[in-house]
Amino acid sequence: MIVLLAKVAFALVFIAVAYVLYGFVHRYRQSSLKFLKGPTSKSLLFGADYDIMHQKEIGLLENKWFKEYGTAFRATTYYSEDMLIVADPQALQYICHTSGYRFPKPQDFYQVAGFLMGRGLVTVEGEVHNRQRRALNPAFSLKQLRQFLELFQRSTAKLVTNWHDEFSDFSNGGSVINVTDWLPKITLDVIGESAFNYKFEALDGHENELGNVFRDMFLDSRIYPRKRQLLYRAFRHTLPSSVANFLLQFPTKEEKRFLGFLNASKRTAKPIFEKASIESKATEDSNEGKDILSILVRSNQELDPKKSLDNDEVLSQMATIILAGHETTASTSAWILYGLTKHPKDQAKLSQEIREMRERIGDRDPNPQDLDSMPFLNAVIKEALRMYPILQNITREAQSDDVIPLEFPVANVSGDEISQIPVRKGTRVTLSLGCYNRLPQVWGDDADEWKPERFINMPKKNTNLGVYANLMTFSAGIRGCIGWRFAVMELQAIIFGLLEKFEFCPPASGELDEIQAVPVGGAVPMKKGKWEEGRQMPLLIRARK
Ligand code: HEM
C-alpha cells in the first residue's frame, strides 16, 4: 500500500514538474517583444497578469505603465511569455475592427466562458460569430429597444416605492442605503423580462429557480485569485486545444455550478422558445413576444437555413445576455450615482435639467427622444462610462503573424520611435479599454478628472473609436457590445427616475471616501481593504421636496 501511495505521489510530482517545464518551453515557442519597453514582473510563473489581478484598485498599474512607456508596451503573462498591452487608438481599431477575426479571444477564456454561456455570442469566433450576430441584431435595433423603455421606467419606479416603504427617514435627514444591494435587482428584473419574458422578481424579494442558481453561482470564486487558480488558467492557456478540449469533460466545482446556471437558463427559455417558434410559423407578422428571445426566433426563421442558428445556439444566448447585461449596467449606475454624489454642483445641474423636462412633458414618462435631448444627463452617463469602464482590459491572441499600427509612436529599447509593432502568431494582446478612456492625447490633460462638460464642449474629435461616444467602454468593431443602446437607455431611465425623486449625498461617516473599484472581472465598487464585505456604495439619500 505504502509503495503504491509513493508511486502515485511520485507520478503526481512528475506530472507537475513536466507541466511547468512544458509551460516554459511553450513560452519560448511564442513571440518575442523584447524590442519594446515595459515593466518587469516579480512572478516568473504568472507574469504581469498576477500584478494586474492583485492590485488594490483597478487600472492603477496599467495607467502608471502607460504614462511611463507610451500607448503600447511589453509585459509578461503566464510563464513569463511576452504580452503586448495597448491603448493606442489606431492599434485598438486595427485589432477590434480592421483585422476582422484575426485576433480571437484566447483558449483559456473560451474554455471557462463556455461552461457559463454555452455556444452563445460571447464564446464563438469567426463565421459562427458573424452568423449569430446577424441573427441577434434585429433584437437590439433602436425600434425594438424603444419598447423596453416602459420596462426600465416601471422597474425604477418600483425601486423608488421599495425605498420609501423600507426607509422611513427620507424626509428627516435621509437614510444611508447601500445602493449596490438594490441596483442589481433592477437590472436583473429588467434583463429577465426583456431577454425572455422571465420574471426574476428580485425587487419583490421573490425566490425562483434561476434566481437561486444565479445568486449562488460565484459563491467560492475569490476576488483576488489564488496562485493555484492562476496555475490552472495558465495550464488551460498553454495546452494544445485537443488536450484542453478533452479536459473539459472533468469540470471543477465552480465550472459545474456555471453549467448548472447555463442548463437552468436553457430550461427556462425553452417554453418561450417553443411558443415563439409556433407563433412565428402561424402568422407572418405576429406581434406576439416582444422579448429578445422571441424576436431572435423570428429573425432566425427568416434566415437562409444554412445561416440560421440551431436550437442550442438560440437557447445559449439567454445565459449570455443575462450575464453580459446585468452586473455591467448595475455597477455602471452605481458609479454614476457616485460621480454625482462626489460632485454636488453637477447633481444640482442635472436635477435642474430633469425639473425642466418634467415641466415640459407633464405627467407622462419621458420618451426616448426626451431622454436623448437632455445634454447634461447624457454627458454625466458618458463621463461615468469613461472613468469607470466595467471591463478595464480585454484579451486577444494573434491568430497569425501580424503588424499592429500605432497612432502615437512609442520609443523602443534603443530609444528609436516606432509606429508599428510586429507580433508573432500566438502573442497575447491585452486591450486596455480603461487606459484608452484616459489617454491625455485623446481626452486632454484633465483626462483623470471627472468633468461631464467635456462631452458638451468637446472640440472636434481627433479619434473616433468605440461604438459609443468615442469611448472603449463597450469595446469596438465586430465584437463591440451588442447591448450598448439597451444599456444607455436603461441608464438614462434609472438616473432620470432616481434623481427626480431623491438627492444623493456622502454619508456623514465618511465611508464614501473608502470606496474604490476592485478588479473582480469588472470594476465593482467596494471598501478599501474590505473586499470580503462584498460590493458597496453607501449613499445618504433624501427625498426631494
Ligand atoms: C454598461 C453596461 C455594459 C458594458 C460596459 C458592456 C461592455 C461590453 C464589452 C466591453 C464587451 C466586449 C467584450 C469582449 O469582446 O471581450 C461587451 C460585449 C457584449 N455585451 Fe455588453 N456591456 C454592457 C451592457 C450590455 C447589455 C445590457 C447587454 C445585453 C442586453 C450586453 C450584451 C453583450 C453581448 C451579448 C456581448 C458580446 C458581443 C459579441 O461578442 O459580439 N451588454 N459588452
How many Cβ atoms sit within 10 Å of the Cβ of residue 321?
A: 29
Among the atoms of ligand 1, which is closest to the Cα of residue 195? 30
- Taking the alpha carbons of 69, 71, 73, 77 in that order, is the dihedral positive or negative? positive
Q: Cell numbers 426607509 label which residue?
A: 167
Does 479 sit in the ligand 1 pocket, CB within 6 Å?
yes
Query: Domain 31-543 has what CATH class?
Result: mainly alpha
3-state DSSP assignment of residue 91: helix
Q: Are 53 and 373 in contact (CB under 8 A)?
A: no
Q: Cell numbers 425600434 label which residue?
A: 143
> From CA 32, how far away is CA 14, in angstroms rounded?
29
The residue count of the chain comes to: 545
Q: Are 36 and 421 in contact (CB under 8 A)?
A: yes
Average pLDDT score over the chain: 89
The preferred substitution site among 121, 481, 490 for testing ligand 1, maximizing ligand atoms within 8 Å of CB, is: 481
> How many angstroms is it from 326 CA to the middle of ligand 1?
10
> From CA 5, how far away is CA 8, in angstroms rounded?
5
pLDDT tens readout for residues 290-315: 899 999 998 898 888 888 999 999 99
Among the atoms of ligand 1, which is closest to the Cα of residue 389? 5
Is residue 211 scored above 60 in pLDDT? Answer: yes
Pairing of strands 393-397, 417-423: unpaired
pTM of the model: 0.92
- Taking the alpha carbons of 182, 184, 187, 192 in that order, is the dihedral positive or negative? negative
> From CA 47, how far away is CA 273, in angstroms rounded?
45
Does 393 sit in the ligand 1 pocket, CB within 6 Å?
no
> How many angstroms is it from 20 CA to the middle of ligand 1?
35
pLDDT tens readout for residues 160-180: 999 999 887 777 789 999 999
Burial class (CB in 10 A: 0-12, 13-18, 19+), 395: middle
Does 71 sit in the ligand 1 pocket, CB within 6 Å?
no
> How many angstroms is it from 258 CA to the middle of ligand 1?
19
Residue 481 annotated as part of some ligand binding site: yes
| Residue 530 in grid coordinates | 474590505
> How many angstroms is it from 323 CA to the middle of ligand 1?
9
Does 160 sit in the ligand 1 pocket, CB within 6 Å?
no
Report pLDDT for 237: 77
Does 329 sit in the ligand 1 pocket, CB within 6 Å?
yes
> How many angstroms is it from 488 CA to the middle of ligand 1?
12
> HEC string of 422-474?
EECCCCEEEEEHHHHCCCHHHHCCCCCCCCHHHHCCCCCCCCCCCCECCECCC
Complex-level ipTM: 0.99
542 — phi, psi (to 5°)? -120, 145
> How many angstroms is it from 381 CA to the middle of ligand 1?
16
The angle that helices 126-136 and 292-302 make with each other, rounded to 10 degrees, is 110
Q: Which residue has the higher pLDDT, 282 or 76?
A: 76
> From CA 331, how far away is CA 522, in angstroms rounded?
9
> How many angstroms is it from 474 CA to the middle of ligand 1?
6
Report pLDDT for 17: 63
Helix (H) or strand (E) holding 499: helix 484-501
| Residues forming a β-bridge with 30 | none
Does 481 sit in the ligand 1 pocket, CB within 6 Å?
yes
Does 332 sit in the ligand 1 pocket, CB within 6 Å?
yes
pLDDT tens readout for residues 310-354: 999 999 999 999 999 998 999 999 999 999 999 999 999 999 999
Q: Which of 179, 175, 155 is nearest to 167 (CA)?
A: 175
Report pLDDT for 15: 64
